[in-house]
Amino acid sequence: MSNPRRSVITIGVFAFCCTVWLGACQSTAVSPHARMGMNGGFGYTEAPEYKPGDTLDPPHVLDLSAIQPLDQLMPKLLEKRVIFVGETHDRLDHHLNQLDIIRRTYENSRELAIGMEFFQQPFQPALDDYIAGKIDEKEFLRKSEYFQRWRVDYRNYRPIIRYAKENSIPLLALDLSEELRNKISHNDMGNLSPAETAQLPKEIDRSNNDYRDMLQSIFAMHPNSADFERFVETQLSRDEAMAQTAATYLQQHPKARMVILAGGGHMVYRFGIPSRLTRRIDAPSAVVLNDSIKQYDNQVADYMLLPAPLSLPKEVRMGVVLDTSKFGQLSINGFADNSPAITAGLKKGDRLLSIDGQPLAQMADLKIALLDKNIGDKVQIKVQRAGWFGALKELGFEVSLY
């Protein structure tokens, strides 16, 4: 095969990533047809006990000669109006594969949109303004509240989002707001605002027992989750809402195609977003998952990508522990071992005001300010420090990032 990072097989796996419960928690779940339990990562915790005389299912066979490069798969994907591409959220190689499929699809058909789990519906205007060039990337990250709501290293998604910006490809915020998910999970539906009520899917299909069994296996990995029914309702609401948002766009743009990006658990066996999208609109689709093979099942997806793992460079650090309990203030609460900030002269209790002239009002501002920095770069830090008798003074320091 010419490029192992983009090799494809047309058979599935049991292990996958799923965004579960309220946040961006990634868990491994198992097909409802599987007979093995799984731990919090990929792999099995234990094998089923075998007793003499037990009837065994015949093993699946993978024909390795069927493995092909992505080049050979793309003509099949381009026959579809909707392409679902699953991911493990912190895997850079998964996102580069997503970008490759997006690029090839856009080159074939310019009327394209990208649906993204990582942004919540109330922040759609921020995505629209960024693609339209009305705001820059920093303002886009602030207005979409990316760092507060998703918390996965933005650099994983940056190439996709920048490609969309460069080519004016619409981005769709698919997921429900975190506030709404919290209310659903706590059975607080009676206190929804009109805007929150409008976000709820108009129709929720609860008939798929296999989907419910899959969620049960995920729920079992979260012992602090008190109510399985609330868990199911939250996941159902999310999958239905993401499907409804995508279907509405496709209905309003009858010539448009869409690539939908989300955790693989929202796509596996078509239980989540795919089946709920096609229930709303007749749109031929394909499900592509990124992962390594753990157990074979030819119904888990249409295609499986076999990416070679890639990692991002380490995020740069200042070596400080920050107290963010007061909105609009970032105060130093401690230091990491061998912190260059201590060497530079910063002290516990200092309130960060700016980095290289960029004001700091919240943690997102700090992450944005450091986004394009490299290890070894020197930054100019301005702080506010309490002096004698409570007097406040501003001080400047140069800190080397590490």
Domains of the chain: 4-306 (3.40.50.11550), 320-400 (2.30.42.10)
Could you identify the residue written with the tokens 């709820």?
A: 200
pLDDT for res 25 = 38
Q: How far apart are CA 214 and CA 268, in angstroms?
A: 10
Confidence band (pLDDT; 50, 70, 90) for 6?
low
Is 286 in contact with 7 (CB distance < 8 Å)? no
Residue 337 has pLDDT above 90, yes or no: yes
pLDDT at residue 40, as a whole number: 28
Q: Using CA atoms, how far apart are residues 210 and 76, in angstroms rounded to an integer?
A: 28
Compute the distance between CA of residue 130 and CA of residue 137 in angstroms, rounded to an integer. 7
Helices (H) and strands (E) in the chain, counts: 13, 18
Judge whether residue 188 has pLDDT over 60. Answer: yes
- Candidates 315, 316, 387; CA nearest to 351 is 387
33 or 290: which leads in pLDDT: 290
| In the predicted structure, residue 323 carries a pLDDT above the cut 50 | yes
The alpha-helical segments, DSSP class H, found in 202-259 are: 209-219, 228-252
pLDDT of amino acid 17: 34
Residue whose C-alpha is closest to residue 136's, from 126, 145, 146: 126
Q: In the chain, what percentage of residues exceed pLDDT 90?
A: 71
Asked if residue 245 has pLDDT above 50, the reply is: yes
**How far apart are alpha carbons 394 and 380 in whole angstroms?**
13
Report the range of poorest mean pLDDT among 64-68, 181-185, 224-228, 382-386. Answer: 224-228
- For the cut 90, the answer to whether the pLDDT of residue 61 exceeds it is no
Average pLDDT in the 233-260 region?
Answer: 97
What pairing do the DSSP bridges indicate for beta strands 351-355 and 378-386?
A: antiparallel
Long-range contact list for 179-182, CB < 8 A, 24+ apart?
Answer: 180/237, 181/22, 181/234, 181/237, 181/238, 182/22
**Average pLDDT in the chain:** 87
pLDDT digits (tens, 9 = 90+) for 79-135: 999 999 999 999 999 999 999 999 999 999 999 999 999 999 999 999 999 999 999
Output the pLDDT for position 224.
64
Q: Which helix (H) or strand (E) holds 287?
A: strand 285-290
Cβ neighbours of 7 (radius 10 Å): 18
Give strand pairing partners of 331: 323, 351
pLDDT tens, residue by residue, 301-318: 999 999 989 999 999 999
Instruction: Report the DSSP beta bridge partners of residue 163.
Output: none
Tell me what pLDDT residue 388 has: 85
Q: Where are the beta strands (DSSP E) in 141-211?
A: 171-175
- Please check whether residue 392 is in contact with residue 308, taking contact to mean a CB–CB distance below 8 angstroms: no
Tell me the percentage of the chain whose pLDDT exceeds 70: 86
Across residues 131-156, what is the average pLDDT?
A: 97
pLDDT score recorded for residue 64: 82
Residue 374: burial class (beta carbons within 10 Å; 0-12, 13-18, 19+)? exposed
Average pLDDT of the residues in 190-213: 92
Query: Which helix (DSSP H) or strand (DSSP E) does residue 28 occupy?
Result: strand 25-28
φ, ψ of residue 129 in degrees (nearest 5): -65, -35
The pLDDT of residue 66: 84
Residue 145 gets the label, from left (phi > 0), alpha (psi -120 to 50) or beta, of: left
pLDDT of amino acid 35: 29
40 neighbors 28 (Cβ within 8 angstroms): yes
Would the pLDDT of 341 be above 50?
yes
27 falls in which pLDDT band (50, 70, 90)?
Answer: very low
Asked if pLDDT for residue 149 goes beyond 60, the answer is yes
Helix, strand or coil, per DSSP, at residue 215:
helix
Spatial distance between the Cα atoms of 137 and 165, rounded to a whole number of angstroms: 10
Q: What is the pTM of this model?
A: 0.87
> Quick one: pLDDT at residue 50?
87
* Burial (CB count within 10 angstroms: exposed 0-12, middle 13-18, buried 19+), residue 187: exposed
Instruction: Count the residues in the chain.
Output: 402
The total of other beta-carbon atoms located within 10 Å of residue 326's CB is 9
**Greater model confidence, 149 or 225:** 149
**Distance between first and last Cα of the chain:** 39
Closest CA to 349 of 365, 330, 325, 371: 330
How far apart, in whole angstroms, are the C-alpha atoms of residue 390 and residue 368?
A: 31
DSSP state of 42: S
